[in-house]
Chain A
């Protein structure tokens, strides 16, 4: 159980293109989803927290107009990298919090498999 599907797993596109990444919770409802960015050989850095039906909360230094997040349903959140440039190339990974899961659950987040984004 608790499977999070992230799509696409890998994308290469030209500079200036907008890229949409989907994060779906397949067998549970997710009120909160998190989006992380990971540069090669570095740690995961939280970009934003999205709650179903409301605006996302962005971490300091993350451009909200650059990284558009939509969480329209309890099972789907999307991250759109607008007008992507080579410096946006990175590994993006989402995670989802399961609705109703105890606050002290030993697994507060279930991770997708990530998306490797390469901007030429």
Chain B
């Protein structure tokens, strides 16, 4: 069964510094997708970045980059130049399977609460 593990319940980072949020996953599928979402206190889920299992390059989206290490089954999120508005919950998620509607189901990790200090 697919599983997502986020081992950091909470993280602090100084404003303008970089921070890495850890995510490891477990799947027997060869084809899968990995996602990071940000959830501010207001509750909405904000898509940040995506990495496909066959992507050779690490994904980047502005200040967000994904450190994808397939052999280690890790997909860590790196946020550069942290801003106060980055304070939120961050969830790692995986899309399971490739066939049928189940291929669109997302499995979420337990989340990491990031607090950016001024």
Complex Cα distance, B33 from A117, in Å, reads 31
Measured between alpha carbons, how far is A104 from B37 in the docked complex, in Å? 17
Contact, CB under 8 Å: A107 / B43: no
- Chain B 96-113 per-residue mask, 1 if CB under 8 angstroms from chain A, else 0: 001001011111111101
- Size bracket of the B interface: 20 to 34
16 sample A-B contacts, Cβ–Cβ < 8 Å, listed by A number: A43-B91, A44-B45, A44-B108, A45-B108, A46-B105, A103-B103, A104-B52, A106-B35, A107-B47, A108-B95, A109-B104, A109-B106, A111-B37, A111-B47, A113-B43, A114-B44
Question: Number of contact residues on A: which range applies?
Answer: 20 to 34
Cβ of A24 under 8 Å from chain B: no
Interface contact B42-A107, CB-CB below 8 Å = no
In the complex, what residue of chain B is closest to A97 when comparing beta carbons? B104
